[in-house]
Chains A and B, each alone.
Chain A
Amino acid sequence: MTEPASTKPAVVMSKRTYQRQIPLFIVSLVGAIFIAEYFTANPELKPPIKSPLTPLTSELTAWGTIIYAFTLLFGYVGLLRYQARRVQQRKTTRLAVLGGTCIGAAAVFTILGIVLPGGITGSQFRMWYTYIVTFAGGGMYTAWVHHPYNSYRYFRLTSIESAMMFLSWILICLRELSMFVAIWEPFYAIGTWIEGVPNTAVQRAALAAYGIGSLVLALRALVWKEPGLVEMEMA
């Protein structure tokens, strides 16, 4: 005797399955294919196809671009949704005004991109973008004054490391200031040596260490043990 349909427990896929397990499986599979393609070669194949897996990875790359575009679109839609909710508030708050400005600007620039000749790469659109959007952020360059200010303020001879950093920094500065090079010519060679020898050596070591760290992170992700991107607080 079968139970009435209404009393059967619904077969519901858990949120963890479709938001974590399935995407992780796809990422692992695709990642493994790309790794195999990178390291394998068949001399009988004609360039640019180097590996038997190259056609597959080309197709996957195209799909990756499409999916990435949707991710970006999702981000922008979410952004506009947030601003719209601010505008919907009954009280006129500062955030509501900012939200309205954001939505209005997005609408205006979308229209400009469609109607102006040349679209978003046309000279007219670039002119509007440069003189409104780019110039609006121009204040950043005054904020950057803070960087050298911090250098003067925080460089201390309190340890061997900080003293080395301070010394390297000041010797590079002296190389860049032609007045000091004119006074004592070796400043140029000293600064260039610091930049070309110890700095380059440290750079290579640091990048190699980070490369290994990133590889470990990727290997963890390949076996579903990297929580950074898709871990969930609730199952």
Chain B
Amino acid sequence: MPVDVRLPTVLRPHAGGKSVVTLEGGTIGEILQALVTEYPDTSDQVLNADGTLHRFVNVYVNDDDVRYLSALETPVKAGDEVSILPAVAGG
């Protein structure tokens, strides 16, 4: 099913300048595979060679970090909003 994925500033040049892309998938892993298939330049930014999530990438479903849900197996459904954010410091 189609899901909107919000991209951070740092990824937009690799995705045709778009801030939101619509991708098909039933899990976060499928959504990210669809992203790197459609925009190959995002591949080494988002995923490691073994298909796991890059350590400086945080992915959220409806603002919840998927690492604390079911990681790449986290299900997504129509109407969910997925966002990708780089890890940054606070404090």
Are A and B part of the same complex? no
